[in-house]
Amino acid sequence: MGSLLVIALILAALMTWRTLSAERRHRLAAERIMSELAAIVGEEIARRTIFEYEQFGFSLLRPLLARGLRDGRVPSAQDLRQHAALSVRQASALVDEVFVADFAARSVAPPLRSDLQQWILENLETVMAEREQFAVVRQIVRVSLRDGDHWIAYVRPIPGTRRMAGIVVRSAALTEYAQRALERRAPFPVTFGDRLSQRDVYLRIWRPSREILRTPGAFDPPMGRRFRFPDELGDVLGGATVECSISRRVVPAVIPGGIPRGGEAGPLAMLVGTICVLGAMLLVLRRARLLDRLRADFVAGVSHELRTPITQIRMFAETLMLSRLPSEAQRQRSLENIAREATRLSNLVENLLSFTRGERGTLHVVRTNHDVCAIVREAVASFTTLASHRNVCFHVEAPEECIASVDEDALRQIVLNLLDNAVKYGSSGQTIDVIVIPQDDAISVIVEDEGPGIPADERHRIWMKYYRLEQHRETHVAGSGIGLAVVRELVERHDGFCLAEAGSRGGTRFVVEIPWRRDE
């Protein structure tokens, strides 16, 4: 049975381990899917921003600038903002300034801030030429100056000519276009339908010099990805850093079953619970085994205890019947022996009866006023015959009279059991003290022997049913292990308590205390 429990424990541990590792794998896979989705969403927003920028911004202004350049009159920012076409007026939100650069004359009109103008004259022609050579359509350039990044959108209607028209892009425009790109529709693959929306995304795009877009909330690393936009996205967003994560709320819509909740606490709590249950079962099992063993000892002990007096009684009775004893004194002694063994038998039977009643819960005491000292003296007197063959004497110390409400038979049985043990386990020739002390709130009965004593750590166990000290289980001293259990039961029925302690003469002192209750 014990090994079955151990196997159950191992199986429970194995199952917990498997559950934990399956959960961990599931969680990692789910987080990976979510972070990949976040990367897709981040890149989608970048592409849309660039699309917005082109489609609703510069692509509407480009023809006007190109025509103006050819006609010799490029519209100013003011002209664009007041343009007849609504789409142009809207696109003019992109424009900070409009300028025309002449690389041959090395001039910019109207003049721009000097560092930007200088950069344009020194670099822009080369940039344009390279892009024209490789047919790169994007006509927007990022210019990094001391105060941060600036964007120049340009147009050169006839490649190779040395004049161009351009706009200095408003720095806030990028944020507005990115914002619009996000708001236009949910940035998720269409397969998710309308189950996911913009509110389920946290997004932040920035360059070291400035932040381009930031939505409310906080980045959730397991649910997202931080990466740099690839350079092929162009100068608008290429190289910018993006942080994008998806709300945990929408995980079930993306991954069937979602992410396992509760982490490791659930399976571990179950394992601990299983261990506790199995541990408790183990304890119960051990206790049941101990009780089994003790019960077997009990049966053997009782048989032994019964056999001894019965054999003695039969032997003396047969001798008497055959009239083999010559003298009257010998006959008298035989009769005394028969009486002694009969007393022992009846004590044992009384104990067995009280014990079984206690087990069934039918042991009751009926308390009426009695002289406790008289009952104790009487019990000692009835025991002298039994004790005499071990040369044991009794020293009784008790007041003349001491009336208390007790169950007479129960008290007698208590004292007889203690005396029986003192005689059985004490040395032969010893003196047993029996003391009755009336106190303020209780009456104490003390029985102290000169035996080997009981080890301190065993003193609380001897009151358990069937329990016997190891050394007595091994020896010929007959016993059933129920005497003290009966004593305790009877004392408790009197609301009292009993204990065993080291005696003053090396043996054991048993103390029984019964609270006063004098019936009127």
Of 385, 382, 412, nearest to 312 by C-alpha is 385
3-state helix, strand, coil in the chain (%, to 5): 55, 20, 30
Per-residue mark of binding to ligand ADP, 279-308 (x: CB under 6 A): ------------------------------
Residues 411 to 450: which contact ligand ADP by CB under 6 A? 417, 421-422, 425, 449
Nearer to ligand ADP, 212 or 454 (CB): 454
What are 170's two structure tokens? 């408003």
Task: Report 452-511 residues binding ligand ADP (CB under 6 A).
Answer: 454, 462, 467-469, 472, 479-485, 508
Nearest distance, CB of residue 375 and ligand ADP, angstroms: 19
Taking alpha carbons only, the member of 450, 388, 444 closest to residue 422 is 450
**Would you say 162 or 461 has its CB closer to ligand ADP?**
461
Q: Is the peptide bond before 110 cis (omega within 30 degrees of 0)?
A: yes
CB of 388 to ligand ADP, least distance (A): 18
The dihedral region occupied by 309, where left means phi > 0, alpha psi between -120 and 50, and beta the remainder, is alpha
Nearer to ligand ADP, 91 or 419 (CB): 419
Residue 488 to residue 485: CA distance in whole angstroms = 5
Q: Which two tokens stand for residue 351?
A: 């104990």
Tell me which residues in 77-136 interact with ligand ADP (CB under 6 A): none
Q: Residue 219: enclosing H or E segment and its boundaries?
A: none
Q: Which is nearer to ligand ADP, 58 or 467 (CB)?
A: 467
Q: Kindly tell me which of 113 and 461 has the beta carbon lying closer to ligand ADP.
A: 461
Instruction: Give the shortest CB-286-to-ligand ADP separation in angstroms.
Output: 21
Compute the least distance from the CB of residue 392 to ligand ADP, in Å.
12
Size of the site for ligand ADP (CB under 6 A): 20
- 512: enclosing H helix or E strand: strand 508-515
How many other C-beta atoms can be found within 10 angstroms of the C-beta atom of residue 191? Answer: 7
Is residue 309 part of the contact set for ligand ADP (CB under 6 A)?
no
Q: How far is the CB of 327 from ligand ADP (least distance, A)?
A: 36
Range 348-407, binding ligand ADP (CB under 6 A): none
- Least separation in angstroms between residue 353's CB and ligand ADP is 15
Residue among 120 and 486 whose Cβ is closer to ligand ADP: 486
Q: Which is nearer to ligand ADP, 267 or 503 (CB)?
A: 503
Closer CB to ligand ADP, 44 or 450, in the complex: 450
Q: Based on CB atoms, which residue is closest to ligand ADP, 108 or 447?
A: 447
Residue 402: CB minimum distance to ligand ADP, A: 24
CA distance 259 to 25: 10
CB of 346 to ligand ADP, least distance (A): 15
Q: Is 173 or 462 the residue whose CB approaches ligand ADP more closely?
A: 462
Token output for 453: 């004593």
| Inter-residue contact 6 to 285 (CB < 8 Å) | no
In angstroms, give the least distance from the CB of 325 to ligand ADP.
Answer: 33
Q: Out of 166, 260, 267, 451, which residue is the one contacting ligand ADP (CB under 6 A)?
A: 451
Nearer CB in complex with ligand ADP: 102/501:
501
Does residue 128 contact residue 164 with C-beta atoms inside 8 Å? Answer: yes
**Rounded least distance, CB 436 to ligand ADP, Å:** 18
Distance set, CA 461 to CA 25, 473, 488 (Å):
53, 14, 12
Least distance between ligand ADP and beta carbon 383 (Å): 14
- Residue recorded with tokens 């191992």: 10
30-35's contacts with Cβ under 8 Å and 24+ in sequence apart are 30/251, 30/255, 30/258, 30/259, 31/222, 31/223, 31/259, 33/254, 33/255, 34/222, 34/223, 34/224, 34/245, 34/246, 34/251, 34/254, 34/255, 35/222, 35/223, 35/224, 35/225, 35/245
User: For residue 11, what are its two tokens?
Assistant: 């199986």
Contacts of 170 (CB under 8 A, 6+ apart): 93, 94, 95, 96
Task: Copy the structure tokens of residue 242.
Answer: 């993006």
| Minimum CB distance to ligand ADP smaller for 101 or for 500 | 500
Q: Are 94 and 173 in contact (CB under 8 A)?
A: yes
CB 430, min distance to ligand ADP, A:
11
**Interface contacts to ligand ADP, rule CB under 6 A:** 417, 421-422, 425, 449, 451, 454, 462, 467-469, 472, 479-485, 508
